[in-house]
Chain A
Amino acid sequence: MTFSANISLVLPELVLGVSALVLLVWGAFSKKTTPVFTGASVLALLAAAVLAAIGPHGHAFNGVYSADAAASYAKVAIFVFSALAVVLGDRWLAARGDQKFEFPVLVVLSAVGMGITASAGDLISLYIGVELQSLALYVLAAFRRDDAKASEAGLKYFVLGALSSGILLYGASLIYGFAGSTRFADIAAASHGAHGLGLLFGLIFVICGLAFKVSAAPFHMWTPDVYEGAPTPVVGFFAAAPKLAAMMMFARVLGDAFPDAVSQWRQVLIIAALLSVFVGAFAGLAQTNLKRLWAYSSIANVGYALLGVATGGEIGLHSMLVFMVLYMVDVTGFFACLQALSRDGKPMETIEDMAGLVKERPGIALAMTAFSLSALGLPPFSGFWAKFYVFKAAMGSGDVPLQWAAVLGLVGSVVAAFYYLRLIKAMWFDAPAGSVDKPQPTARAIGFAAALFSFPIVLAALVWLDPAAKAAAAAFGHL
């Protein structure tokens, strides 16, 4: 393969990487964040999304980078949600007079990392992608460095993230040692038939490292603290694009490198998925801070997505890809609404703050009700369809432990219904706690758009989301 053919395959990341460098120099010289600057970074992300969608498919650089339907699907979602995060974060920081030109640059660079992980075809590109993405996210978590809680969030995220990277790297080195190669295609060949004990040993470490990144129980401890301390729009970003990127890593490692060891890794994933669902459901009951509450909600939702991965094969990965995109819309919309709201200049972050919101801001209250009902999994909201796909895949797998896991997952979602309904009750039936400030228009608009997606638009969107995800899922395991 010629060098230019390789370059044409990695064009989305290349465009983003070069624009990050240009933006960095531009920002360093102009020293201010103008709307043109933010617009340029959004434009770069959207251009990369278009390139990922229409770009050629193939394997670049001797198969270490695969541009296939799965990569296109994930990257379009990742880059679009990163662009939304740039807009939301810019508005939020501007409202606090804390705009820095590094914010869009860091989001763009983390998007490069997420793109690399989404099309990783080799353990080294997987690891470099993870590091690129996570390092930018650590900085974003602590972006308001004078805020003690944000610093705590950044430090906790950094230390635990570094530990998980170490575990991931240890597993990767074991796999390399036993398979004799870091490329997924060669690992798949080495694990074919009788899988060596050493390979599986390495795989377990890699799964643990990835579970940290995706915040699945029992590796979820950092999530509530980081979500509580980090700036609200950054949390909305954390819960959306990097989650999809991390689920893509699961799909890449398990679907591309270990497709034959499905019975071995399925049991590990079922345990992680069920633990996540129950930790998310039960620990969420005691939360009063909405950001912490939504952290536990995200842990539970990751559990459902892992159930889809555990099903394995085309159907399982298909359900996971649909689930993650629908979940990303919900969570981005919810945090956009949360960021739009303030009372006397202070952010509204607890359930008590939301009391009587419907009398003050009926539009936002309605949108947040839609997100809660969607996260609860009530039809006809998007969350219902997301869970429907996952449970249908798990029940149709014919694997008895997996079917029981799906049943237990449903029980978990009934438990979690309590805290979503508690939020709705506070908004609709409690007495207002005081007047709410005028909401931030951009964040409110994004919140409303996501709420509209969550109910009527989702029905139309599924018509093209479903075949796109199906094509993406079919791309795994063909190296």
Chain B
Amino acid sequence: MALQAIAFYLLAFVTIAAGLLVVSAKNPVHSVLFLITAFFSAAGLFVLLGAEFLAMLLIVVYVGAVAVLFLFVVMMLDIDFEALRDGFAQYLPIGGLVGGVLTIEMIMVAVSVATNGAASKNATPLASPGGVSNTEAIGRVLYTDYIFFFQAAGLVLLVAMIGAIVLTLRHKPGVKRQDIGKQVARTPKTGMELVQIKPGEGISE
């Protein structure tokens, strides 16, 4: 399948190139845009693997929500990103050393696995059971086999929501809010006051 191979190499190249540009772009807005590109190409790779549900999820959740949120945050915060990069050269040697060691280790692991053939066991994705599409397969297990994870993950999101409210919500006393009950209950008696004014004295507060 030459077409598939071309599509794979194109998408893989774009993903890696966009990933590099995310960290090397000077302008943070450009970084976020490259991030979106990387997500899109990764979604394409998922489609090639036959995991169309994950591909759509990646676009809806990561591109649609997360990356756009990043974009808002980057554009709204007044951060001097150039100043943040000042220490770049200073931390480059140690950071490069750690990164290099990790890279070499991972290459060694990958090579030993490739030669010993341990990875060949799971080289191809599992066929979807019973001839159903993988969206349907996920739907079948998500609320049955994985119900515990699903509910527990729901609690994690609840904690995040409570946390955001606890740490940021402030009830300001001076803010005027509409209170319809109060408005309706208003009568001429409570709404105005008749004052007898003597000439030349004005109204006291």
Contacts and interface: CB of A to CB of B under 8 A. Distances in A.
Interface of A: 6, 10, 17, 20-21, 24, 60-62, 64-65, 100, 102, 105-106, 109-110, 112-113, 116, 124-125, 128-129, 131-132, 135-136, 138-139, 142-143, 145, 154, 177-178, 180, 196-198, 201
7 contacts: A21-B158, A61-B148, A135-B159, A139-B162, A142-B167, A197-B113, A198-B113
B112 A102 contact: no
A interface SS class: helix
4 pairs of A and B residues whose beta carbons are closest in the complex: A139-B163, A61-B148, A128-B152, A135-B159
A102 B162 contact: yes
B154 to A, nearest CB: 9
A198 B109 contact: yes
Interface in B7-35: none
Interface of B: 105-106, 109, 112-113, 118, 121-122, 145, 147-149, 151-153, 155-156, 158-160, 162-163, 165-168
A197 B166 contact: no
Contact of B156 (A21, A61, A132): A132
A128 B155 CA distance: 9
Contacts of A60: 148
B205 to A, nearest CB: 33
Contacts of B106: 201
A112 B148 CA distance: 13
B162 A129 contact: no
Contacts of B118: 178, 196, 198
A125 B121 CA distance: 25
A382 to B, nearest CB: 33
B153 A135 contact: no
B167 A136 contact: no
A100 B121 CA distance: 54
A142 B163 CA distance: 10
B80 to A, nearest CB: 20
B125 to A, nearest CB: 12
Nearest to B170: A145
Nearest to B118: A196
A180 B159 contact: no
Contact of B155 (A112, A125, A138, A177): A112
Nearest to A202: B109
Contact of A128 (B149, B158, B160, B163): B149
A6 B145 CA distance: 11
A245 to B, nearest CB: 14
A132 B109 contact: no
A120 to B, nearest CB: 11
Contacts of B105: 201
B101 to A, nearest CB: 13
Given A60-B148, A198-B109, A128 B156 contact: yes
Nearest to A138: B163
A135 B160 contact: yes
Given A135-B160, A142-B167, A65 B155 contact: no
Given A106-B162, A143-B166, A196-B113, A132 B155 contact: yes
Given A61-B147, A135-B163, A201-B106, 5 more contacts: A102-B166, A116-B152, A125-B152, A154-B167, A196-B118
Contacts of B152: 116, 125, 128-129, 132
A64 B146 CA distance: 9
Contact of A64 (B148, B151, B153): B148
Contacts of B151: 17
A113 B156 CA distance: 9
Contact of B163 (A21, A112, A136, A180): A136
Given A61-B148, A125-B148, A198-B113, A132 B166 contact: no
A178 B153 CA distance: 25
Contacts of B159: 106, 109-110, 132, 135-136, 139
A125 B113 contact: no
B156 A131 contact: yes
Contacts of A145: 166-168
Contacts of A100: 166
B145 A62 contact: yes
Contacts of A132: 152, 155-156, 159
A64 B163 contact: no
A124 B149 contact: yes
A135 B153 CA distance: 12
A128 B163 CA distance: 17
Contact of A125 (B149, B160, B163): B149
A61 B152 CA distance: 13
B163 A61 contact: no
Contacts of A112: 155
A21 B161 CA distance: 13
Contact of B153 (A6, A105, A128): A128
Nearest to B149: A124
A204 B60 CA distance: 34
**In this complex, which of B106, B148, B149, B159 has the most chain A Cβ atoms within 10 angstroms of its Cβ?**
B159
Contacts of A177: 122
Contact of B162 (A24, A142, A154, A180): A24
A136 B156 CA distance: 9
Nearest to A105: B162
A75 B163 CA distance: 24
A61 B167 contact: no
Contacts of B155: 17, 20, 109, 112-113, 132
Contacts of B156: 113, 128, 131-132, 135
**In this complex, which of B147, B151, B158 has the most chain A Cβ atoms within 10 angstroms of its Cβ?**
B158
